[in-house]
Amino acid sequence: MSYVDEVYDLVVAKNPAQPEFHQAVKEVLESLRVVIEANEEQYRKDALLERLVTPERQLLFRVPWVDDKGQVQVNNGFRVQFNSAIGPYKGGLRLHPSVNLGIIKFLGFEQIFKNSLTGLPIGGGKGGSDFDPKGKSDREVMAFCQSFMTELHKYIGADTDVPAGDIGTGGREIGYMYGQYKRLTGLYEGVLTGKGLTYGGSLARTEATGYGLLYLTEEMLKCNGKDIAGKTVAISGSGNVAIYAAQKAQQLGAKVVTVSDSTGWVYDPEGIDVDLLKEVKEVKRARLTEYAAARKSAEYHEKKNGEHGVWNVKCDVALPCATQNELDLEDAKALVANGCFAVAEGANMPTTMEATEYLQANGVLFCPGKAANAGGVATSALEMSQNSERLSWTFEEVDSKLKSIMVNIFHNLDDAAKKYGMAGNYVAGANIAGFLKVAEAMTAQGIV
Ligand code: NDP
C-alpha cells in the first residue's frame, strides 16, 4: 500500500467520528501524492506524514459562565496547536453550536498550509467553542469570553500561539478576550489579532479576508484571459468575509447578486447594497429578512431543508463565504449549467470533494480556501508585526501589502501546479506549495 494511503487509513482509524478532519486530510494527501511518492523513502523513515496529521497539542476545556437569568451554562472549549514548524501557532476561534474537535482539527490542519502559502512565519492552529453568540446579550457574551480566556491564556502568547476571529468571533468577542488576557497576565502584547484600532488592531484587518479573496480572484481571472469587471458574482454568507468580498467585488466593477445566512438568502438583481447589508449585519446583528424589507429590488427566499438556493442563480463567478460543505455536487452542476466559469472559496472547505472534482472536470477555474481566503491570516500576521514594532501602518500600506501577498500566493500555486504537471489544478498547486515549505522546516528541525 502506498505511504499516502497508509497514513490516510491511520487518520481514519485513530480519529473516529471526525468526518471533516478525514475529508481535509484526504484532499491534501491526494494532491500531494506525486510529491510524496518522489521522496517516499525519506518521508516514511521520518514519519513525516504521521507527524503532519497529528497535532502537536490538543487542548479541551470546560467553559462555565452565568447567563442573564442567573443560570450556570457550560460549554466546551478547544484549541488545537497543530504545527509550529514555520512559526507560532496562528488561526482563529470559531464560536458556533456545531463546533466539535473534528471541525477544529480540520480547520487547524488546513491552516498549516494556508499560513505557509502566505510566505509569512506563522504555524497552524485553530480553536473555538460550541457557544452560540447569536441571541445572547452583550453581558452574556462577555461572561463567556472571560471564562474562555481564563483557561486559554495559560497556553497562548505573542510568540507561542496567536488566536484570531472566525465564525461567531468578531471585534466584540476579541475585545472581551483581550481584556481578560491582559487582566490575567498583566501583559499588553499582540496575543490576539483582529483587535480594535484603539488597542493594537490593524487597519484593513476587518476587510482583509474578503478583499484578499477578490485580489486573488482578479489575478486568477487575469492569468486566464478574463476580467472581473462587468461580471455577475454570487456570494453565500453575510458575515465578515462575505460583506467585504461583496464590497471589493463591486469596487472592481462586478455586480454581486446574492448573499445568504443560515436561515435564508437574498437575490438582488440590481446588485447588493453593501452599506445596507453592513447596517443589518454589523450594526443591528439582524437577519437578512431586514435587508429584503428595506430594499425594493431584493427577493428573500427562506432556506428549505437541503437546498442551497444561492448556487442556482445565474452567475459568472461564485464565491462561497459561509461555512464548510455548503456547495455540493448538485450545486456544482447548477453552477456549470448556468455558465459559471470561476469559483474561489472565501470560507474554509465550503465545496465538497465531489463538487470540486466536477467543477474542475468541467473547466471551471477553482481556487481552494487555503489560498483564496489567506488574506485574513496574512493581515493578522501584519498586525503581529505592527504590534512587535509598536507602530501602526496606514490602511493603504496594509492593503497594498495584502494585495501583493494574494497575487504572490496565486503565482506560487500556479507555478507549483505547472511544475508537477498539473497546470490549472490550483487545489494541487496550493497543497504542494504549502506543504514543501513546512516539510523542509520539519525535516531541518529533527524529530520533534
Ligand atoms: P461570520 O460569523 O462573520 O459569518 C458567517 C456567515 O456564514 C453568516 O452569514 C452565517 O449565517 C453563515 N453560516 C455560518 N454557519 C452556517 C451554517 N452552518 N449554515 C449556513 N450558513 C452558515 O464568519 P466569517 O465571515 O468570519 O467566516 C466565514 C467563513 O470564512 C468560515 O468558513 C471561516 O472559517 C472562513 N474564514 C474567515 C476568516 C476571517 O478572517 N473572518 C479568515 C479565513 C477564513 P448566520 O448568521 O445565520 O449564522
CB 309 less than 6 A from any atom of ligand 1: no
CA of 323 to the centre of ligand 1 (A): 5
Beta-carbon count within 10 A of 20 CB: 21
CB 35 less than 6 A from any atom of ligand 1: no
Closest C-alpha to 234, from 266, 280, 209: 266
Question: Which residue's CA lies nearest to atom 32 of ligand 1?
Answer: 347
CB 345 less than 6 A from any atom of ligand 1: no
Question: Which residue's CA lies nearest to atom 28 of ligand 1?
Answer: 322
Task: Write the Ramachandran bin of 334: left for phi over 0, alpha for psi from -120 to 50, otherwise beta.
Answer: alpha
Q: Is residue 308 predicted with pLDDT exceeding 70?
A: no
CA distances (Å), origin 158, targets 121, 381, 383, 442: 13, 11, 11, 22
In DSSP terms, which residues pair with 72 in a beta bridge? 66
Grid cell listed for 138 = 452583550
How many residues can be counted in the chain?
Answer: 448
CA of 321 to the centre of ligand 1 (A): 6
CATH code of the domain occupying 3-187: 3.40.50.10860
Matching CATH topology for 3-187 and 206-367?
yes
CA of 9 to the centre of ligand 1 (A): 30
CB 346 less than 6 A from any atom of ligand 1: yes
- What atom in ligand 1 is closest to the CA of residue 373? 43
Residues 368-399 have pLDDT tens digits of 999 999 999 999 999 999 999 999 999 999 99
Question: Which residue's CA lies nearest to atom 37 of ligand 1?
Answer: 166
Q: Is residue 424 predicted with pLDDT exceeding 90?
A: yes
Q: SS3 of 45, please?
A: helix
Residues 401-412 have pLDDT tens digits of 999 999 999 999
pLDDT band at residue 304, thresholds of 50, 70 and 90? confident
DSSP 81-124: EEE-SSSSEEEEEEE-TT--HHHHHHHHHHHHHHHHHTTSS-EE
DSSP 275-343: HHHHIIIIIS---HHHHHHH-TT-EEEEPPTT--GGGGS--SEEE--S-TT-B-HHHHHHHHHTT--EE
Question: Which residue's CA lies nearest to atom 19 of ligand 1?
Answer: 262
DSSP code at position 199: G
Residues 115-159 have pLDDT tens digits of 999 999 999 999 999 999 999 999 999 999 999 999 999 999 999
| Positions of E strands within 214-298 | 232-235, 255-260, 264-267
What are the residue ranges spanned by the domains of the chain?
3-187, 206-367
Residues 150-202 have pLDDT tens digits of 999 999 999 999 999 999 999 999 999 999 999 999 999 999 999 999 999 99
Question: Which residue's CA lies nearest to atom 33 of ligand 1?
Answer: 347
CATH code of the domain occupying 206-367: 3.40.50.720
- What atom in ligand 1 is closest to the CA of residue 194? 40
The label of the residue with cell 427577493 reads 299
CA of 21 to the centre of ligand 1 (A): 18
As a whole number, the mean pLDDT across the chain is 97
CB 111 less than 6 A from any atom of ligand 1: no
